[in-house]
């Protein structure tokens, strides 16, 4: 299913990566992974993209899985069909339910092989209804970047406009979650689930939060429950995409109402970040916390999944030389971050979503993509290549002392992000 532009890129890679046969092979496998293993073109010009070994489509993952194709899309009609079809399907899902993170291909009500039941508002399109800010941010980011790369604005349909208003309304409601939101999520348990990360406390409301201007999230991009409801990197992502919405509102739709609503919301969230998101650490100085509740409680950590604190320059919220980001980066890439692990084969960021001492290829790739020097990026690429368990592709988490112990042999998001790192480092 490779397109002509990808075949041309691979011909270039054959020359530039010939010095490292394994790098060349893994790059090609990872770059093609989304197209060759996860994409289904539907009859209605839509595209359904599974995340890998789970037969459902995540708004977040599906966006990230095609991100690395955007630089080639301008002159590639086949890639345009795939990406435009994906955007169309994502917008359809947001208009069905803005609180869901993952959806079925059809109204088959198929949800999981696990024996559980979720207490929330469900319908037959929904695979999972964990509300995550980033699920609404990623499709906007993909659409905006696609527009900028190709100049094509046909994606901005009336349905798209309706979804944007839904996103603005949802973020606004969730600024006052305890008072205004009807969203609840509780999960009944089979033995396979860890209750604390799979359900919201306080009868599905989540722990109490104070008004800050930020917008509330029930779950992290790992699909794990937030401890405190203001997930700071996701709020920063929201600030970025609200800026995109302002530009689309003016240049595409000439919609002054949308522009003003997005501008107001963007200011309120960003003001809340500036007022509540920073923590004075005795060792690292002023840094960003991962979560807060607006009552003075903080979660100091970072998670492998994106948006993360590590990914802030990649997402466009701060530059890599921002002083607070530098302090934060020092913290999260140290053992003071409770999910940073060091072992015989690698050091990096893991997640409560996977076992202790497992770090993620996504986090290693993101560390390379946000590296301040080419040397650091090259070091990360070498680390990733040495921890693939000779599978020729990326995994979710792997044991820092034994990379043959890993989770998710088929995880397209991790493949795409590594491909993007290699492309940016060697081929861009």
∠ CA 234-264-205 to the nearest 5 degrees?
A: 45
Q: Cα 29 vs. chain centroid, distance in angstroms?
A: 21
User: Helix, strand or coil for residue 34?
Assistant: helix
Query: What are the distances in angstroms from CA 404 to CA 30, 360, 367?
Result: 18, 13, 22
Rg (CA), the chain: 20
CB 160 within 8 A of CB 90: no
Residue with tokens 């993360």: 308
Residue 196 has a pLDDT of 86
**pLDDT score, position 109:** 65
Cα 46 to the chain's mean position, in Å?
21
Q: How many helices (H) and strands (E) does the chain have?
A: 15, 17
**Residue 216: how many CB atoms within 10 A of its CB?**
27
How distant is the alpha carbon of residue 318 from its chain centre? Answer: 17
Strands lying side by side in the sheet with 358-360? 358-360, 397-399, 402-406
**82-110 CB burial, b ≥16 within 10 A, e <16:** bbbbbbbbbbbbbeebbbbbbbbbeeeee
- Which residues of the chain form CATH 1.50.10.10? 54-336
CA distance linking residue 40 with residue 225, whole number of Å = 30
The pLDDT, as a whole number, for residue 115 is 44
Q: Are strands 47-49 and 186-187 parallel, antiparallel or unpaired?
A: unpaired
Q: Which fold has domain 54-336?
A: Glycosyltransferase (1.50.10)
Q: What is the pLDDT of residue 114?
A: 45
SS3 394: coil
pLDDT in tens, 7-42: 999 999 999 999 999 999 999 999 999 999 999 999
Any long-range contacts for 222-225 (C-beta under 8 Å, 24+ apart)?
222/303, 222/304, 222/305, 222/351, 222/352, 222/353, 223/101, 223/128, 223/130, 223/132, 223/353, 224/197, 224/198, 224/303, 224/351, 224/352, 224/353, 225/196, 225/197, 225/198, 225/199, 225/200, 225/201
pLDDT of amino acid 191? 47
In the chain (428 residues long), the average pLDDT of successive 10-residue segments reads 95 98 98 98 97 94 98 98 98 98 87 66 92 98 98 98 99 98 86 75 96 98 97 99 98 98 99 98 98 98 98 98 98 98 98 96 98 97 98 98 97 98 97
DSSP letter for 183, please: -
Residue 40 confidence (pLDDT)? 97
């Amino acid at each position: 299913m490779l397109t002509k532009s990808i075949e041309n890129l691979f011909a270039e890679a054959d020359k530039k990566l010939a010095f490292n046969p394994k790098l060349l092979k893994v790059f090609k496998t990872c770059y093609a992974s989304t197209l060759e293993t996860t994409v289904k073109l539907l009859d209605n010009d839509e595209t359904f993209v599974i995340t890998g070994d789970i037969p459902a489509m995540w708004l977040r993952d599906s966006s990230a899985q095609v991100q690395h194709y955007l630089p080639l899309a301008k002159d590639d009609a086949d890639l345009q069909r795939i990406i435009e079809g994906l955007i169309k399907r994502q917008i359809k899902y947001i208009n069905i339910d803005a609180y869901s993170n993952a959806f079925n291909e059809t109204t088959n009500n198929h949800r999981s092989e696990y024996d559980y039941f979720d207490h929330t508002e469900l319908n037959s399109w929904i695979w999972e209804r964990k509300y995550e800010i980033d699920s609404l941010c990623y499709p906007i980011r993909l659409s905006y970047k696609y527009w900028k790369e190709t100049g094509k604005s046909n994606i901005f349909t009336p349905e798209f406009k309706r979804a944007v208003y839904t996103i603005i309304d949802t973020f606004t409601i969730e600024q006052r979650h305890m008072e205004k939101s009807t969203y609840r999520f509780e999960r009944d348990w089979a033995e396979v689930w860890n209750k604390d990360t799979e359900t919201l406390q306080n009868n599905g409301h989540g722990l109490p939060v104070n008004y800050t201007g930020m917008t509330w999230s029930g779950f992290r991009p790992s699909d794990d429950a937030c401890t405190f409801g203001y997930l700071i990197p996701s709020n920063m992502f929201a600030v970025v995409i609200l800026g995109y919405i302002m530009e689309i509102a003016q240049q595409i739709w000439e919609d002054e109402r949308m522009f003003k609503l997005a501008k107001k919301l963007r200011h309120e969230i960003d003001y809340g970040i500036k007022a509540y998101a920073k923590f004075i650490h005795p060792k690292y100085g002023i840094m960003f916390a991962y979560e807060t509740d607006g009552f003075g409680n903080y979660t100091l950590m970072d998670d492998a999944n994106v948006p993360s604190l590590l990914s802030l320059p990649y997402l466009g919220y701060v530059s890599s030389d921002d002083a607070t980001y530098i302090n934060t980066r020092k913290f999260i890439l140290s053992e003071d971050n409770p999910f940073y692990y060091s072992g015989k084969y690698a050091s990096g960021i893991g997640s409560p979503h996977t076992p202790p001492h497992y770090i993620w290829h996504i986090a290693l790739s993101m560390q390379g993509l946000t590296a301040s020097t080419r040397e650091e990026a090259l070091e990360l690429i070498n680390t990733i290549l040495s921890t693939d368990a000779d599978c020729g592709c990326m995994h979710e988490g792997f044991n820092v002392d034994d990379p043959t112990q890993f989770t998710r042999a088929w995880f397209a998001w991790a493949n795409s992000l590594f491909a993007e790192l290699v492309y940016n480092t060697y081929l861009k």
